[in-house]
Structure 1
Amino acid sequence: MSVPLVHLTRLFQLLSERKFAEAERILERITERMKRSGLQEFNRGYLEALSGIVLTYRSGGESYEFFSNLDLNDTEALKRHYLDFKQNSENPLHADYDRGYFTALADYMRVVLRTVKGKNEDEG
């Protein structure tokens, strides 16, 4: 099930602004929306990935190697991560849970890339 890009963008924007209570409300909306579709394992993986991202921001990211080393100014690396997550999300050899998890990470990278591109265009 596809989550509207506007919800994901808002979630990640709130996280970057450290507005965790509002971010949790957006995550709850996403959770309720996903519960209505029938893809239980996919949705569980997707939601656990989003919850992990929220936890990473809330804890400052020190204990999560990938996110703490993510350079938001390196668009080429961001694109590589996005493509890697997207490829894993489409791999039929992965279980539904794993595909959901990788889909959430790919969606996160897609929003980050759009945000970075928008900032670069505003500055340029």
Structure 2
Amino acid sequence: MVRREELLLNFLTALSSSRYADAERVIGLLERRLRSRGEWGQGYLMALRGLLSARKANDRHAFRIDLNEDPKVLRELRREFGSHARAKCHADFDRGYFTALRELVSVALKARQAQAQNPRTV
């Protein structure tokens, strides 16, 4: 079974290269895995669907994440999204939503760091 981190990397790669059908397939795989997570899983998937929808619509005002973001910005975003994902005052849906964003940012940061160490890997 493919780890969620690998699926998110595939999602980001597909999103960054405008391969929307591939990104939708990743969401479908995650949806099957997260069915039992209830509201949390729904929030997680909504974050991914929102990013995909904004990219498809070329919405320049929506939050966008790319694999070539500045690592400093990525670390700041990861900290911000992580604090929301852990906040007990948020509903499960919201915590799932922010968890997806935090994990996507973490995956982008790891990919960026790997690219800096070995430019041919990503």
Name the TM tier (shorter chain).
0.7 to 0.9
Q: Equivalences for 1:1-124 in 2 at 5 Å? A: 4-35=4-35, 37=36, 39-64=37-62, 66-67=63-64, 72-123=68-119
The AA in structure 2 aligned to 1:105 is L
Gap regions ≥5 residues in structure 2: none
- CA RMSD, Structure 1 to Structure 2 (Å): 2.0
Give the TM-score normalised by structure 1: 0.84
The AA in structure 1 aligned to 2:96 is G
Give the TM-score normalised by structure 2: 0.86
CA contact (8 A) 1:46 1:104 kept: yes
Q: CA deviation at 1:61?
A: 3.8
Any idea what the Cα deviations from partners look like across 1:55-81, whole Å, max 9, x if unmatched? 1222234131x328x894421121011
Cα distance change of structure 1 residues 30 and 73 upon mapping to structure 2, 3 Å threshold: closer
Identity across matched positions, percent? 28
CA contact (8 A) 2:9 2:107 kept: yes
Any idea what the Cα deviations from partners look like across 1:20-68, whole Å, max 9, x if unmatched? 1111111111111111x2x21111111100101111222234131x328
Gap regions ≥5 residues in structure 1: none
Q: CA deviation at 1:94?
A: 0.9
Cα distance in 1 for partners of 2:72, 2:114 equals: 15
